[in-house]
A and B are shown apart, each in its own frame.
Chain A
Amino acid sequence: MQTYTSRVSLERYRADALHREAMCRALAADDPRYMTVAESAAASVHQIDARAMELR
C-alpha cells in the first residue's frame, strides 16, 4: 500500500476509499468480514464529503 502524504488531494483519498469500498462490498458475498473494511472506507468517503461541504 502506497502511503499518502498531505500533498495527495482529498479527491484522491476519496477515489481510493470508493475503490476499496466497491471491492469489499463485492467480496462480502463470499466472506462477510470484508464488510468491516467496506464500512470503514464508506465512513472515510462520508468524512471527506462533509469536510468538502464545510470548506464551501
Chain B
Amino acid sequence: MERASKLRAITEYAKARRALAVDAERLTEVLLPTPPAALKKVGISRAIEIVAQAAANLRRPECPASVREGHLPVVNAHIEKMRVADREEDEVRTGYYALRAALALFKAELETARVKDYATLVGLVQSRPDAEEFFLPAYQRGGADGTEDDDEEPEQPAQPSGGGASPPA
C-alpha cells in the first residue's frame, strides 16, 4: 500500500510540475524543484516531506492560480493517503515483530521445560546417553525439507492369518 500510494502521489506531483512548467517555467525549479524520478528513489517518509513542501510552495502567491487551484487539492489528498499508508504499514510491521518476539519467548519457555525434564531424567536413569533417548534432535533427517525421519525401524508387514505362504522367521 505504501508503494502504491507513493506512486499515485508522484503521478499527481508530476502533473502539477508539468502544468507549472507550461504556465511559468522559471518557477518550476523554485516551487517544485525535485524531479519525479528522484522522488521514486526516496523512502515513503522522505517522499511525504518533499511532496508536502511542494504543496506548501503551491500556496505561495507567485504560483499561478490555475496551477494552485487545479492541482493543490489533489496533491494534498495524496499526501494524506501516503501518511495513512505509511502509518498502517508501520502498525503491521510492529505487530509482526511483536508476534515474532512473543514466539521466541514462548520457545525459550519450552526449552527451559525440556532442560528441566532432562535433568529429572538423568537423575532417574543415571545415564546421560539413556536420558538423551527421551529427546528428539532439533531437525529430522532425510526429507528434502529436513522434516522427515529416516532412522525409524521399518514396520513388519502384517502376516496373513491362516496363510502358509510365508516361511516362519
Q: Which residues of A contact B (CB under 8 A)?
A: 1-6, 8, 10, 12-13, 15-17, 19-20, 23-24, 31, 33-34, 36-37, 40-41, 43-44, 47-48, 51, 55
Contact = CB atoms under 8 A, between A and B. Distances in A.
A17 B135 CA distance: 8
B117 A20 contact: yes
The 10 closest A-B pairs by CB, nearest first: A16-B136, A6-B104, A1-B118, A1-B135, A20-B134, A37-B117, A8-B138, A6-B107, A13-B110, A2-B138
Nearest to B122: A1
B96 interface: no
Contacts of A48: 110
B133 A23 contact: yes
Q: Is the interface of A mostly helix, strand, loop or mixed?
A: helix
B138 A23 contact: no
A27 B69 CA distance: 83
A41 B113 CA distance: 8
Contacts, number: 72
B131 interface: yes
A31 B124 contact: yes
A1, A13, A48 — most chain B CB neighbours (10 Å) = A1
Interface size class of B (residues with CB under 8 A): 20 to 34
A55 B115 CA distance: 26
B110, B113, B115, B135 — most chain A CB neighbours (10 Å) = B110
Given A23-B134, A33-B120, 17 more contacts: A1-B115, A2-B135, A2-B137, A4-B138, A5-B138, A6-B108, A8-B138, A13-B107, A13-B110, A17-B110, A33-B124, A37-B117, A37-B120, A40-B113, A40-B120, A44-B110, A48-B110
Nearest to A24: B134
A19 B134 contact: yes
